[in-house]
Structure 1
Amino acid sequence: MLVTGYPAFAQKELMDSFAARDSIDVTPRASEDVTVRGSLDFPIRESVDSTVRGSVNIAARKSLDQTIRASTDTRLEFKRTSMDSDKMSEIIEKEIDSGQTTPVEEFLNWSGWYKWYLNMLGGLLGFVTTFASSAPSGYATDLLAKFHLDAELDALVISLFVMGFCVGPLLWAPLSEQYGRRPILIISFLGFTAFQIACPFATHFGAIAAFRFLGGVFSASTQPIAPYFLHDSWDDATREKALIVQAILSFIGPTIGPLVSGYMAAANIDWKWCFWMLAIMTGTCTLLIILTYPETYRPILLTRKAKRLRKETGDVRYQAPLELVQSPKLSGRLHDTLAKPFIMFLLEPMLIATTMYLAFLGGCLYMLLEAYPVVFQEGYHFSSSTLALTYLPVTAGNFFALALHLWVIQPEYEREVKAYAPNPVPPEERLWVAVWAAPLFAITFLWFGWTSFPTINFWVPMMSGFVMGCTMLLLMVAMFNYIVDVYAFAAASALSSSMAIRNVFGAVFPLFSTQMYRALDPRWASTLVGCVAIVAIPIPIVLKRYGPAFRAKSRYHDPVRII
């Protein structure tokens, strides 16, 4: 059996005999922990890299009833199945010529500018998605009049779109690992564009609510795909820069959306043009994906090479790891798609802690869209167009966080990479930023609330948004980096559950924020949120101190990175 796409050093002894009668002999690296699983007569890992990192000798009898099934996290697991013995008898050993460049090597050797272009394109897709989530808020008055809504139902125009973010990653992440990143992005953004076009034709609130929810579902494909591209293409040191640049483009979307639409509304431009604008933006992104975005998922690239080699040589034994997958039943696919990310979430204390903190941060970001009108429109009597300007300090704080990352945090991490070489930097080193950013984030809500009296100059509560935007982005980047580093093999599932829960908070917070800020007044409402933020301060501290112990007990952590 020919397995394509492995590094040259791993192919010399790959699959060199089928000799043993009742067992498969796998020789792991000396440094690897091994455990016995099931009835197998040899030590193997609970989950094995789909990339071979040493000499692997596999032997099996004719009636072999063990096969390798790839998981959705690009790992391979040994699973007992019933296989046709005649079919298995046709599998023979053959050494692969390692002189050719594999798709993986080509992928890693892309020029720096091209990888940065793809990174910026991923950031643009994230920006358009989050921009679309909040843009209709600038037309709140027009939508209230058009569809005869009260303030609570008007908030649903935003919340339903964000609720679509909860469903989307659970569908698109596993589908992208089965069919590739590129086709999923194309299909999802075609749907995203279609539902933006449909919104101006809505004749009642039910229609626009459905279009907004479905638009959110289709737009959410960028959430799991864009971060995983960073994991696939960049080394640890460069990924920090790439992630912060991509994150800031996604992060400023919710604050830029009301700014643009607010001035459109002030210029008496019809509300329908808000959605036509979104359709133009999403359509442009769709064209960019079709014309410039290649396939970046490595197992798919290896499968394509295996098919090409079979066609060129006529030898059907050339197989890529993904082609060794046993076709799962429908129940298995539903488990991997819908249940697996949340099972992983429930079993991993580190993932629970980081996800709940990220969810709270995401909820606070969208809560500002409802809290600011109460403070600045009702308290300071700002117009709708002037209100949009109050979000600019939050955006300015995001860019300050970007500069801080590039000039302070990133150089420090690069020094750690050299210090720990050739070993990877422990994931806990990502959290030192979060340790000091968490208290500052809690303080910003107390600052915002207790300086929001109309007798105090509006610049004082506005500038709390600067520190809030800075610390919020620093916390999110640190937590996302930590998740990717800890769950390198299971990053897609970890990010899927994390993003889904974070988006639930982002969808729910706007629904009660207006009532909370009116009922408790901005002072006590902000104090309540600030107290929750204070309770969350120990999360990065505990993870930094006890992270290695948690990782040692994790079922999904593996310190060896996929090549």
Structure 2
Amino acid sequence: MAKPEMYRHPTRSEIIELAIAEGHDADIPTNAGSIYQVPSHTSTPRSMHQNHESEKVSTAAVDKDIEKGISAESMSSDEEPVDNNEDDPNVVWWDGPDDPQNPMNWSYTKKWGTVVLISAITFLTPLASSMFAPGVPQVMATFDSTNDMLEQFMVSVYVLGFAFGPMIIAPLSEMYGRLPLYHSCNALFVIFSIAAAVAQNMGQFVVFRFLMGCFGGAPMVLGGGTIADLISREQRGTAMVVWMMGPTIGPCVGPIIGGFMTVAKGWRWNFWFVAIVAGALMLASFILMRETSAPVILERKAKRLRAETNNPKLRSKLASDLSPADLFKFSIIRPAKMLTRSTICLAMSVYIAITYAYLYILFTTFTAVFKTQYHWKGGVVGLSFMGIGLGSLVGQFAFTYFGNKIVNKHIARGDFKPEHRLTSMCVGGFCLPVGLFWYGWAAQEMTHWIVPILGTGLIGFGLLMAFMPATTYLVDVFTVHAASAMAASTVLRSLCAALIPLSSSKMYKAMGYGWGNSLLGFVSLALIPIPFLFIRYGEGIRARSTVKL
């Protein structure tokens, strides 16, 4: 009978898949091991020959061309199992296929309860990014400010925190596990939400919003890995879809709630609401959540057994020799190199960053547009965000269905290449400028309110259809280093989403809503050729690549 998934040698593709879900590169040990045979700090000394071989593998890991695939000399094929010293008596592993310490063996209720809890946290923190957008005029009045740039920055500074917080949270989670990071970041998120609610001046408010974003990004860094820890490959897709609803729909639902909350209780209650819900989820996580990271659980087990048996040679099967400095390097330096030296990573990241910035331009201006053009008042203003939210939701489902259909067709033919992911992106590329022209001129001419709302729905659909294929393309191209490519993309898009909207009010005042959104539409028209060019020339670009880490 075949060995259970956790008791057979994992293939390279399985390790890469898990590493991507966990948010790190595949040369860092995942729950199934590492694609490189990295010795543990506690392992016995090796012979000179073994050390030499280890150095060769390490060199291959650093110097290989990251866009050309994995060399045969340093990697096994997708079908060949990766042996992690399973027969070594000093290697600590699970106590059989039914070991209750293994998160994969948790009860159905415990596993899916954890998934629901982290999905709720991941929904709340992106929701908080835009929830108070309808209350921005009240905030400006409270702090006696008329600075248009500051008015936009109040909303987008939260996303700036997304650029910096996860870069530190990710390596810390590899060293100390997921649970301490969940607890500490949830607690700090609650603290800074309360601080924002009681801020006494604009400077305090902006700083607290930024810190909310830094720590609010934790569940988006850790959530995918937690799901991979708990849920088998067959059921993981369903859990990932539920979890991804947070980053996709949360920012669009937030202003709808915030619009009515601001009218009923004032803008500060948007933050009290977030703090109360986040506090309840934090208490639930303290009570219900347990550590799920297999490398951390096994390292604790090995440490305990070394103390009990006085055998210093015992080591976890998933142990790594990566130092904190190495983890810092992988988390910060490698993404920076990929962003500056890889044509593919740079082009896709710029495309994603510009489209993501458009989302926050709309978030920061919807309230003003529908108040001035349509004279919407009170909580009804928050409903102006509904179009882009529904469009994003439809876009997510459309990409999942048609994207998988296209990819599966090519896999069945045996001719799949990463560029096949970009077919859906071509559709999104056309929808985005059409939606911008539609929304801009409908708002300018003050047509019936449903017309611009439909335009924003098309924008939301186009954003998702462009964003999701570009992200999955980076995963397919960079495989082993996919997490670094996505980190590079995340930093650039967060910076653009925080800074570009600062000039949106001035743009609309100078050009009007019609020509202002047309300018954005013309920029997105200029981006349309990018997926077509990569479909045609992407394979050649990868073949000629000289990017090394």
TM-score (norm 2): 0.78
Q: Is 1:170 the equivalent of 2:167?
A: yes
Asked if 1:209 corresponds to 2:240, the answer is no
Distance of aligned partners of 1:293 and 1:534 in 2 relative to their CA distance in 1, 3 Å threshold: farther
Shift of 1:551: 4.7
Which residue identity lines up with residue 262 of structure 2 in the other structure? A
Mean Cα deviation higher: 182-191 or 228-237: 228-237
For the residues of structure 1 that align with 2:463 and 2:423, how far apart are their CA atoms? 14
**Contact 1:237/1:410 (CA < 8 Å) preserved in 2?**
no
- Alpha-carbon distance between aligned partners in 2 of 1:253 and 1:9, rounded to the nearest angstrom: 39
Q: CA deviation at 1:392?
A: 0.9
1:333-352 pair list within 5 angstroms: 334-352=328-346
Pairs within 5 Å for 1:155-554: 155-229=152-226, 241-267=238-264, 269-311=265-307, 313-320=309-316, 323-325=319-321, 327=323, 334-405=328-399, 408-410=402-404, 413=407, 426-551=417-542
Aligned counterparts of 1:167 and 1:316: Cα–Cα separation in 2: 38
Change (3 A) 1:546 1:226: farther
Change (3 A) 1:381 1:248: same
Greater mean alpha carbon deviation, residues 386-395 or residues 309-318 = 309-318
- The structure with more helix, counted as a fraction of residues: 2
* Other structure's SS at 2:295 match: helix
Contact kept, 8 Å, 1:244 with 1:405, in 2: the verdict is no
- C-alpha RMSD over aligned residues: 4.1
The structure 1 residue matched to 2:131, chosen from 132, 135, 138, is: 135
Describe the shift of the 1:351–1:287 C-alpha distance in structure 2 as closer, same or farther (beyond 3 A).
farther
Query: For the residues of structure 2 that align with 1:103 and 1:532, how far apart are their CA atoms?
Result: 56
Equivalents in 2 of 1:126, 1:344: separation in Å? 27
Partner secondary structure for residue 436 of structure 1: helix
Partners of 2:98 and 2:48 in 1: CA distance: 34
Q: Give 1:297 deviation, angstroms.
A: 3.2
2: CA distance, partners of 1:293 / 1:557:
40
Evaluate the alpha carbon distance shift between residue 405 and residue 299 of structure 1 in structure 2; reply closer, same or farther with a 3 A threshold.
same
Identity within the alignment, % = 27
Shift of 1:168: 0.7
Q: Which residue of 2 aligns with 1:124?
A: 120
Give yes or no for contact 1:240–1:410 (8 Å, CA) kept in 2.
no
Q: 1:105 to 1:21 in 2, by over 3 A?
A: same
Structure 1 residues 84-123: aligned runs within 5 Å = 94=89, 100-101=96-97, 106-107=102-103, 117-123=113-119
Letter in 2 for 1:396: L
Gap runs ≥5 in structure 2 = 11-31, 64-70
Residue in structure 1 matched with residue 19 of structure 2 by the alignment:
none
CA deviation vs aligned residue, 1:21-59 (integer Å, no higher than 9, x gap): 5565759xxxx9x96999xxxx9966899xx935689xx
Q: Distance in 2 between matches of 1:466 and 1:457?
A: 15
Aligned residues: 502
Aligned residue type for 1:288: A
The separation in 1 between residues aligned to 2:216 and 2:339, in whole angstroms, is 23
Return 5+ residue gaps in structure 1 as ranges.
58-91, 559-563
**What corresponds to 2:68 in structure 1?**
none
Aligned AA (2:140):
L
CA distance in 1, matches of 2:292, 2:145: 45
Task: Judge which range, 406-415 or 521-530, deviates more.
Answer: 406-415
Answering whether residue 81 of structure 2 is matched by residue 53 of structure 1, we say yes
Please tell me whether the aligned partners of residues 224 and 492 of structure 1 are also in contact (alpha carbons under 8 angstroms): no
1:57-116 deviations in Å (ceiling 9; x for gaps): 9xxxxxxxxxxxxxxxxxxxxxxxxxxxxxxxxxx9757598834989945566777665
CA contact (8 A) 1:103 1:298 kept: no
Q: Alignment partner of 1:520: what SS?
A: helix
Taking structure 1 as the reference length, the TM-score comes to: 0.76
Q: How has the CA–CA distance of structure 1 residues 488 and 385 changed in structure 2, closer, same or farther, with 3 Å as cutoff?
A: same
> What residue is the counterpart of 2:18 in the other structure?
none
When Rg is computed on C-alpha atoms for both structures, the one with the higher figure is 1
Asked if the contact 2:153–2:499 (Cα under 8 Å) also holds between the matched residues in 1, the reply is no
